[in-house]
Chains A and B, each alone.
Chain A
C-alpha cells in the first residue's frame, strides 16, 4: 500500500512541477514567474529523490 501511495505521490509531484513550469513559461508578469519558480523548487527536488 505504501508503494502505491509513494508512486501516486511522485506522479502528483511531476504533474505539479510540469504545471508550474508551464505557468512560468506562459506568464507575462515577472513577479508571478518568480513565484512559480520558488514553488517549483521543492517539487523538482522531490522528483529527483534528493529531498
Chain B
C-alpha cells in the first residue's frame, strides 16, 4: 500500500512537471511579443479592425503601418506573415517598417497578417518556436508560427471547407488558412473575417496593388516566382526580367482562374487592386530534410535537398550555400520595389516608389544592420507585435 502511494506521488510529480513545462512553453509562444521600431518612413499606424469592427479584440486583429510620402501617387499594400511558418515574409515586413522611405504615393505594411497563426506551432512538425537574427545590439527574435490560424481562435474545422462566395470545396483545414479565405465574409469564421477586413482596407484606402509575401518548398513547382493574375501579368513579367538580368532569377506563374480563396485570384476578382503573390524558396518547408532547426530556417542548408538538387529534382537552383534568410527576405523587398517601379511605368498617375535595403544589401551585410535597437529608439516608436 505504501509502495502504491509512493508510486502515485511520483507519477503525479512527473505529470505536473510535464504539464507545467509543456504548458509554459506553449503559453510562451502565445504571449511572446516581438519588438518593432517604427522607422522614419512611418507616418501612421492602424489596426485591421478599423476596417471591420467584428475583428476587434480577437486574435485576428493586427497592426498596420502607413508610410506616406506626402506626394501624389498610388497605394501599395504589402502583406507579411500570411503563413507564419514562412518567416522570411515577416522579416521582410519588419525591415520595410523600420527602413523603407516612401518617395511617391503610399505604402501600407502588415507584418503579421495572420497574427493568430503566429501564436501556434505546426502540430507534429517539431518546429523551433522562435528564430533569432543577430544584430549589433543583440538579437531580433521572431515567433515561428503555424501555416493556419491557431485552433484556439477558430475551431472546429469542418469536414469539408466550402469557400465563400464561390462554394468551391477545399481541404477542411484550409478553413483556417487566410490565403484560402479571400475575399472573406464579415460575419464568418475568424479567417474569413480577416479576409473581409483586408478587402475593406483595399477598397477604402484605394489600394492599387497588393504584394502577398510567402515562402515555398524547393520541391514544389510554384517557387522562386511571382504569381500574378492577367491584370498584373505584364508588370510581373517585366519585374522578373529586370531582376533576373540584374540580381537573381525569378519567374512568373499565372494565377489559376478556377483556384478560389487565394489572394492572387480573389483580390483581382473582387476589387480594383492588382495582387501579386511572391514565393521565395525556403528549404525548411520541404519534407525530405534533416531536423527542422532554427539553423535550417536561417541558413537554408540541407544535405538531403542538396542530393535532390544533384538529381535535378528541385524547381530552383540549390547548392552548398543553401538559401539563407538574407536571400529570401531580400528577394521579397527587391521584388516589391521592382513591382512598384513597373507599376509606376504602366500607371504614371498612380506612381508608387520607395527605397529600402533589399537582396543585395542583405547578402552583402547580413540582416543585422537593418533592425533598429528598441532600447535606443525614440520614445513612442517601439511597437510590440
A6 with B155, Cβ < 8 A, contacts A41-B18, A45-B23 known: yes
The smallest beta-carbon distance between A18 and chain B, in angstroms, is 15
Interface of A is mostly: helix
Known: A24-B8, A30-B7, A49-B152. A37 touches B15 (CB 8 A): yes
In whole angstroms, what is the CA distance A44 to B15 when docked? Answer: 11
CB distance from A50 to the nearest CB of B (A): 5
Give the CA-CA distance A6 to B7 in the complex, in Å.
36
Chain B: interface residue count, which band? 20 to 34
A33 to chain B, nearest CB (A): 5
Decide if B308 is an interface residue (CB 8 Å cutoff): no
In the complex, the answer to whether A33 meets B27 with C-beta atoms within 8 Å is no
Q: Does B169 contact A (CB under 8 A)?
A: no
B19 & A34 in contact (Cβ 8 Å cutoff): no
Chain A residues with Cβ below 8 Å from B7 are 30, 33-34
Q: Which residues of B contact A5 (CB under 8 A)?
A: 155-156
CA distance in complex: A3, B116 (Å): 17
Say yes or no: is B377 at the interface (Cβ < 8 Å to chain A). Answer: no
In the bound complex, do residue B155 and residue A44 qualify as a contact, i.e. CB atoms below 8 Å apart?
Answer: no
Interface positions, chain B 218-238, Cβ under 8 Å from A, are none
Interface size on A, residues (CB 8 A): 18
Asked if A33 contacts B11 (CB within 8 A), the reply is: yes
State the CA gap A41–B7 with chains docked (Å): 18
B189 close to A (CB within 8 Å): yes
Bitwise interface map of B from 42 to 63 toward A, beta carbon under 8 Å scored 1, else 0: 0000000000000000000000
Query: Which residues 1-44 in A have Cβ within 8 Å of B in the complex?
Result: 2, 5-6, 9, 24, 28, 30, 33-34, 37, 40-41, 44
Chain B proximity of A4: nearest CB distance (Å): 11
Q: Is the CB of B19 within 8 A of A44?
A: yes
Chain B proximity of A11: nearest CB distance (Å): 14
Chain B residue numbers with a CB within 8 Å of A51 are: 26
Whether B15 pairs with A40 at a CB distance below 8 angstroms is: yes
Q: Is the CB of A37 within 8 A of B156?
A: no
Query: Who on chain A is nearest to B120 by CB?
Result: A51
Contact A30 B8 (CB under 8 A): yes
B interface residue numbers (CB < 8 A to A): 3-4, 7-8, 11-12, 14-15, 18-19, 22-23, 26-27, 30, 152, 154-156, 189
Lowest 3 A-B CB distances belong to which pairs? A30-B7, A37-B15, A50-B26
Of the A-B pairs whose beta carbons lie under 8 Å apart in the complex, a sample of 30, sorted by A's number, is: A2-B154, A2-B155, A2-B156, A5-B155, A6-B155, A9-B155, A9-B156, A24-B8, A24-B12, A28-B4, A30-B8, A33-B4, A33-B7, A33-B8, A33-B11, A34-B11, A37-B11, A37-B12, A37-B14, A37-B15, A40-B15, A41-B18, A41-B22, A45-B22, A45-B26, A48-B23, A50-B23, A50-B26, A50-B30, A51-B26
